[in-house]
Amino acid sequence: MNPTQDPENHDSSSGRVEDGPPSDSVSPVINNNSELSEKRSQPTSTGEPTSELPELSQSSADQDARSSPPYSIHSAWAKRWIVLAASLSAFFSPLTAQIYLPALTVLAEDFSVSNAKINLTVTTYMIFQGITPMFIGGFADSAGRRPAYTICFVIYIAANIGLALSNSYASLLIVRCLQSAGSAATVALCQAVLADIVTSAERGQYIGFTVLPVVLAPSLGPVIGGLLSQFLGWRWIFWFLAIVAAVHLFLVLLFFPETCRRIVGDGSIRPHPIYRTFWSLIKCRNRSTSLTRTASQQTSASAKRPPVFSLRPLLVSIQLLTTHLELFLLLFCSGLIFAGFYGLSTALPSQFHTLYPDLTDVEIGLLYLPLAGGSIASAVFCGPALGYNYKRHARKLGLGNIEKTKQIDLTETKFPIEKARLEVGIPLLVLSTAVMLTWGWAIEYSGGLAVPCVLMFLYGVGMIGFQNTANALTVDIVPGNAGAAVAAGNLTRCLLGAGASAIIVPMIEKMGSGWAYTVFAGLYVAVSPLVWLIMRNGVRWRAEWEKKEAEKMDRRKVEAWQ
């Protein structure tokens, strides 16, 4: 059974989906204007009409949130399945980066190149991992999530087949870039799907789903890569990725619904057939269904349009980076923190081969498992912490108990979403900095494997936890362009990570591990004031940016009419 609610099967009279459980998320549209006019015409206690609204016990923003229809027609379980499917798609990007690491030494020997040259395949992978989502993210925000997923996985599968058949270092380097281009945008698409169906109030409880790719890939990737490289040869790493990706693409086309709000609104608008799942097309082939609408005011004609291929959305990510000060500072800070992780993980195989020459590729891959344990612990902590802090700030602002299924206007209510997110992230950033500093000297004066394993667990708690809070805030800041915003974040993370992975080995050779990682810890400290600036000025910066964007939109409308 398809766990998602397809709009073409949605029964507006009963509020349920055919062949599925009842949905309590569909509510009738409330006309706020008529409701207010009724309040204005009601007599006062003296029997005379009044032209003013009666005093309210709660803020008007809170009333608007309560009277508005749900943000999405999908039930809680449908949302979980959709977000989980998007997270599994996003799993391929970090998995592809990490599954490759245990085979670096073997690849250098097979292609007769140095470790520095083979590390360039990691650097170029990350450069394309940063650039590609800017194009796909903007495209997905306008043309839809399903077309974007299809393009990504077709490119990715073809690249893996090419890598498995590669016979030269040059072809490995070039096709590895193509592989990155195919997988990289899936992370941005995951956050965009989350923004499509989940409100800011309930976003914390979905952290456990979206963190899956970040949690499992850095640990499972090296283990799988080590096993395949040692027992079947490094080429089977890419055959494995191609096969798994092909199966996943088939399931996406069969079951994953279109969620882009510009196309399906809250999920109740039946889109053009190209956006519909194969499963829904099969079910509806011999019958007609009525078009269901809720609060969305889009026309059925626009809902039935095929994807519009425009070059303009491709520049949205760059526009956001260059015009949105708050977003730029947040992404630069989180990108630099993530760069330290890539520096650490890229150098780890060669360092451990040198320090512990008896370790096999599989055993080195297993050393990444403590990072997964720390990441899981972080996910368990971050979700409830973000939800609690959001509610705490809502109560302080006088918004009362906000319904999680209804999105409030963060700018209109002057909601300090920056504080709600980053107050959770700051302790995790401090932990990451301390571990990064300790890691270098622990490797410098190597005594045993226990200390690195403990440090990797703690680093997973700190670094992954901070990234989760930063990702949640990124989507909160610009929910209308979530795909482009996350793609911009991917660009900063990957470009900074590419630089870190390229310089870490030369730094270790010249300075030693202790001082090399001390430099990274120093960079963590240097960007920490940016977090404070965002918390202090974020509400004002966000309001100013939205005002400018509204003025630009008004000017475009005037120019269009002239």
pLDDT in tens, 215-231: 677 678 888 888 888 88
CATH of the domain at 444: 1.20.1250.20
pLDDT above 70 (res 381): yes
- Identify the CA nearest to 177 among candidates 159, 189, 165, 164: 159
198-211 as b/e: b if 16+ CB within 10 A: bbbbbbbbbbbbbb
Query: Distances from the Cα of 206 to the Cαs of 84, 199, 402, 469, in angstroms?
Result: 9, 10, 17, 12
pLDDT above 80 (res 526): yes
When pLDDT is averaged across residues 54-72 and rounded to a whole number, the result is 54
When pLDDT is averaged across residues 252-259 and rounded to a whole number, the result is 88
The confidence score (pLDDT) of residue 41 equals 39
Could you tell me which residues are beta bridge partners of residue 43?
Answer: 49
| Residue 243 belongs to a domain | yes
| Residue 426 belongs to a domain | yes
Burial class of 540 by CB neighbour count within 10 A (0 to 12, 13 to 18, 19+): exposed
pLDDT tens column, 299-348: 444 444 555 555 555 677 788 888 889 999 999 999 999 888 888 887 88
Burial class of 160 by CB neighbour count within 10 A (0 to 12, 13 to 18, 19+): buried
The confidence score (pLDDT) of residue 195 equals 81
Q: Which amino acid is at 48?
A: E
DSSP string of 445-511? T---SHHHHHHHHHHIIIIIHHHHHHHHHHHHH-GGGHHHHHHHHHHHHHHHHHHHHHHHHHHHHHH
The confidence score (pLDDT) of residue 557 equals 73
When pLDDT is averaged across residues 208-214 and rounded to a whole number, the result is 69
Answer for the pair 167, 531: CB distance below 8 angstroms, yes or no.
no
| Residue 297 belongs to a domain | no
- Identify the CA nearest to 370 among candidates 276, 455, 433, 297: 455
| Residue 11 belongs to a domain | no
Map tokens 């890229």 to a residue: 346
- What is the spatial distance between Cα 261 and Cα 252, in angstroms, rounded to a whole number? 19
| Residue 533 belongs to a domain | yes
Pick from 70-79, 140-149, 359-368, 537-546: least confident: 359-368
- What is the spatial distance between Cα 148 and Cα 313, in angstroms, rounded to a whole number? 13
| Residue 43 belongs to a domain | no
Map tokens 């912490």 to a residue: 385
For the chain, how many structural domains are there in total?
1
| Residue 275 belongs to a domain | no
Answer for the pair 178, 129: CB distance below 8 angstroms, yes or no.
no
| Residue 12 belongs to a domain | no
Containing structural domain, residue 218: 74-265+308-556
Q: Which amino acid is at 18?
A: E
Could you tell me which residues are beta bridge partners of residue 547?
Answer: none
Assigned token pair, 176: 């590895």
Global pTM reads 0.67
- What is the spatial distance between Cα 232 and Cα 203, in angstroms, rounded to a whole number? 42
